Amino acid sequence: LERQLLMQNQMRERQTAMQIAWTREFLKYFGTFFGLAAVGLTAGAIKKKNPGVLLPIVPLSFILAYQYDMGYGTLLQRMKG
């Protein structure tokens, strides 16, 4: 029984490590997308003189912050607690 618990704990730690690794990899691509989108939307807002064009940056920034917290922050520790 003790050995089973150790194995389960080890598998859970591996799954968590894989989740963090996946999140960090996703963050690289999403961060690039966010940067390009922010530059493009800012240029579009200036060109059209309409600040409403910048609106999509708000939800994208929340997604970026969540992914950063998951990969490099303390989100998983807070979830466990």
> Looking at the domain assignment, is residue 68 inside a domain?
yes
> Looking at the domain assignment, is residue 75 inside a domain?
yes
Confidence of residue 73 (pLDDT cuts 50, 70, 90): confident
> Looking at the domain assignment, is residue 35 inside a domain?
yes
> Looking at the domain assignment, is residue 29 inside a domain?
yes
Stated pTM of the model: 0.79
> Looking at the domain assignment, is residue 11 inside a domain?
no
What range defines the domain where residue 39 resides?
22-80
**H or E element at residue 3:** helix 2-48
pLDDT tens figures, 7-65:
999 999 999 899 999 999 999 999 999 999 999 999 999 999 999 999 999 999 999 99
More confident residue, 62 or 79: 62
> Looking at the domain assignment, is residue 52 inside a domain?
yes
**How distant, in Å, are the alpha carbons of 30, 52, 68 from that of 56?**
14, 9, 19
Q: Please tell me the total count of domains within the chain.
A: 1
